[in-house]
Amino acid sequence: MKKILLISLLLSSVVQAEITLEQLKVPDGFELSYFAEDVETARQLALSESGTVFSGSFSAKKIYAFKDTNNDGKADRRWLLMENLRAPTGIAYKNGDLYVADINKIIRFPDIDENLDKPKSEVVYDQFPSDRHHGWKFLRFDKRGNLIVPVGAPCNICDADKRYSKIFSLDLASKETKVIANGVRNTVGFDFHPQTNELWFSDNGRDMMGDDIPPCEINRVSYEGEHFGYPYFHGADIADPEFGQDRKVSDYSAPVLNLGAHVAPLGIHFYLGNQFPDDYRKNLLVAEHGSWNRSKKSGYRVMLATVEENRITNYKPVITGFMRDETTFGRPVAFLEMPDGSVLISDDFAHKIYRLTYSDH
């Protein structure tokens, strides 16, 4: 009882550092503002034709909706669409309906813009594994209308059965799934290349191999069913000490880019707008959520990866300042490009949705 009381007192004494826009650094010409505040553990974002912004959440277990009715770049209306879910992190919008991934199931909110005050919902698929460990998801529709859904490894490192460590394509009409990629430990961020339409995804590297290995990754799916190494190899050629024996590295695909160990890349987004400078267009924004188990913290920033002929030739900071002197103030998660070319960025630690804009005047 004394031990429980001590832990409780210690937890209650922890005061989260409050983030400010002034401490977040952006390149010249860019400006950050708050699109929405007090959005508890905001995760993936989606947008309807009428301009409604939707947000999933992590530990808050809620789904939110927001509107900027006076076009000043800040939400002035909000709705709580559903609560008491498990981890509704992944959301996507298509043809008037909102889709939410909650660990093992996909929930559909039909005609969501017409029903924000009293949303209707139905489960349209519930056959994904129910493990919470790496069970939270990211969603995106492909050009054929199929829903791309990841299922992470149910562990730090293990050789799990065929239901795990994959990216699936789900046909919502037939309820059939197809494996897009194998050997994926935990991706909660992907996007389609604007020219080749190939799927690019982030992947979080395994833990407990030290501060500096293995790397987190950015990967490109060049053919259906491609295997990216987990749990046998990490990065391009780091054999796993438990599962890498008697395996050939040449059997698996190397990352397009090895990132720092434990930086935890989440959302990635190919920028297609015209508001940002030319060197952003058709290049990849990356949200490094930040390390949790490194002796010196790493990540906690938004980056831009320059993509040339399926290679990343440059990797530079766009937003920094989420972490300072080993104190965490925020953790960027996911991107949503708006029709005017601005970009919304969720933060599940500071409970904010930022708006990134650019002007050369």
Can you give the pLDDT at residue 3? Answer: 39
Residues 256-271: what's their mean pLDDT?
Answer: 98
Indicate whether 318 pLDDT > 80: yes
Q: Helix, strand or coil for residue 51? A: coil
Measured distance between the N- and C-terminal CA atoms of the chain, rounded to whole angstroms: 62
| Average pLDDT of the chain, as a whole number | 95
The residue assigned the tokens 């890349």 is 265
Q: What is the Cα–Cα distance from 348 to 352, expressed in whole angstroms? A: 7
Q: pLDDT for 117-148, tens place per residue?
A: 999 999 999 999 999 999 999 999 999 999 99
Q: pLDDT for 279-309, tens place per residue?
A: 999 999 999 999 999 999 999 999 999 999 9
pLDDT band at 17 (very low <50, low <70, confident <90, very high): confident
Q: Does the pTM of the predicted model rise above 0.75?
A: yes
Give me the phi and psi of 280, to 5 degrees please.
-95, -30
Residues 43-53: what's their mean pLDDT?
Answer: 98
Residues 6-14: what's their mean pLDDT?
Answer: 37
Indicate whether 265 pLDDT > 90: yes
Residues 104-108: what's their mean pLDDT?
Answer: 98
Can you give the pLDDT at residue 4? Answer: 38
Can you give the pLDDT at residue 360? Answer: 85
DSSP string, 309-361: TTEEEEEEEEEB-SEETTEE---EEEEEE-TTS-EEEEETTTTEEEEEEE---
Q: pLDDT for 54-87, tens place per residue?
A: 999 999 999 999 999 999 999 999 999 999 999 9
Pick the CATH number of 19-358 from 3.30.360.10, 2.120.10.30, 1.20.1250.20, 3.40.30.10: 2.120.10.30
Per domain, the residue ranges of the chain are 19-358
Indicate whether 5 pLDDT > 70: no
Question: Measured between alpha carbons, how far is residue 326 from residues 17, 184, 295, 322 in Å?
Answer: 11, 30, 10, 10
pLDDT band at 16 (very low <50, low <70, confident <90, very high): confident
Can you give the pLDDT at residue 307? Answer: 98
pLDDT band at 13 (very low <50, low <70, confident <90, very high): very low
User: If you ran DSSP here, which 8-state letter would residue 41 be given?
Assistant: T
The residues, any chain, with a CB within 8 Å of residue 194's CB and separated by 6 or more, are 270, 272, 282
Residues 205-231: what's their mean pLDDT?
Answer: 97
Residues 14-33: what's their mean pLDDT?
Answer: 91
Q: What is the Cα–Cα distance from 131 to 153, expressed in whole angstroms? A: 9
Q: Helix, strand or coil for residue 21? A: helix
Can you give the pLDDT at residue 15? Answer: 56
Can you give the pLDDT at residue 6? Answer: 40
